[in-house]
Structure 1
Amino acid sequence: MPIVDPRTGAPLNTPEGSTQTSAASADPANYIVDIDMSNFQQVVLEGSVQTPVLLDCWAPWCEPCKNLMPVLEKLAHEYAGAFILAKLNIEEHQEIAAQLGIRSVPDVKLIMQGQLYDQFQGALPEKQIREWLAQYIEAPQDAPASPEEQAEAALAAGDAATAQAIYRQLVQENPEHYDYQVDLASATLAGGNAEDARSVLDNLPPEHRDAPKARGVRARIDFGDEAPSAEELASLEGRDDSEARYKRALRQVADGHYEAGLDALLALMKADRAYGDDAARLTLLRVFDALGADHPLTVAYRRKLFALLY
């Protein structure tokens, strides 16, 4: 049975001469299988009719492959036979790799019912792989949280130190996955160390340093720098002029009270659009950048801003 890409209908040629035996069993020893010419037919083609197969195409010289493989092996054990992890060393088995059209690694293909259902290239984060896999295979009910989810839970609980430790480990294991470094900067900022957070961002490659996620963390750092101190805030007590209202809004945003800060900026914009050369509107846009385009507050307050403008 050929592997067919359902999106194009084109068959993927498979190696000839491989054995025609039954699919791999769900015995724990067979969750992870090294693929060669002798078992490709059995494990990948026939085996995928009964059990989905995750075909991990890798090479010994590929550093991202070395980062990805332990994650896939961990998931294979967690899923306990719900899928088979088939590992193909493209250096040792170039004929198979050529017939599968492998051009770069890591290349991970999900084979089900003898067909290519989906695939991804590169060493994706564990959380993203879990989400991708869950589209096709039901995750175990007792599956542990991914490191990313553990870090997010720690931040939500106010434990920035634990989140930093998790992200440092992820950065060490995945040095070319720069989003982890941005996450580390964010957790470092949450822990109260703005300068270290800024240093992490400054050391990113330019294309990642200027990406929306990193810009958002930098915006939060800048809000902390710009917001009035406790002493200055106390000196504004009783004042309701535009400057006082703006500075109080900045402090709210810097302290993470985003909704209150956004409301205050919208109110100031409505009352005194000219203040600070349109400072309220421009600061609203910076808050949206800090939160991210998909954040519920960004979505809601963009609508409010649009309604106010038009």
Structure 2
Amino acid sequence: MSDIAPGAVLRGAVDLSTLRARAAQPAQAAGAASDGAPSGAVPSLVFDATDETFGQVLELSRSVPVVVDLWAEWCGPCKQLSPILEKVVAELGGRLVLAKVDVDANPQLAQGFRAQSIPMVVALIAGQPVPLFTGAVPEQQVREVFAQLLQLAAQHGVTGTVPVGDAPETDAEEPQLPPLHLEAFDAIEAGDYTRAVAAYERALAENPRDEDARAGLGQVRLLERIQGVDLQAARAAAAAAPTDIPAQFTVADLDLAGGHVEDAFDRLLDLFASLPGDERAPVRERLLELFGLIGTADPRVIRARGRLSSLLF
């Protein structure tokens, strides 16, 4: 199977190469049954994953999609998000499982997923990582992302389920995206970001309070801006013209999409500080847009907002 594209989510930099060797070890807690459903002692739909057991989680993902929640005890937004993830996973009745990773106790996994901020949520489908989102997000957005994830898993033949204790089987249908959201997702899968932007814009015109459409629009606009951009050429252009706004915007976009969030913010804040007052507005607007993509509770956003405020006043 070829690598799985992340679809409607931001393309994150995830490197599990150092952990894949563990997947070759005999799976004691999670394996694949002959009928394609996971077998073995999966304790529940929600379980802890560690550096030592992650090979088994990779194997499990060949049968059923695995959502990985990277968290820490000190992380306030993690405590807001985790109950939402557990609730939505439970409602799906075994079609997804949730592996919780304490980044403080499992440094190899934290490094492998390049968890620069938490909470960070990633999926595994057939052993391939699919970045989902960073930061605490609303329950409805979690539902939509998981609906997309199930569709993506089905496209790659990962349709197994995990038994849910002694609970009776249900015929619960897969959560359905609103029509315009589904149109946007299909367009993203086809690489047609212009059509996806138009779909999200129509969704917002119909319902200005649709925060999921607003978040999706920001993500797709970012993907549209960096599509086909040569990273080295963009960096060279930005280095040659430190106050060229479009050139600096391009590299900031590439940094953000590649997971270098602080680099993106610092670049734009430095640009903002170097410009005359009457030229700063576009930079402030782009910063606010990127803040929205990462999440207002993210420590990097909080720090960048503080610096922006000091530059404004």
TM-score in terms of structure 1 length: 0.41
Structure in which a larger fraction of residues adopt helix: 1
Higher relative contact order (CA 8 A, sep 6+): 2
TM-score in terms of structure 2 length: 0.40
Asked which structure has the greater CA Rg, the reply is 1
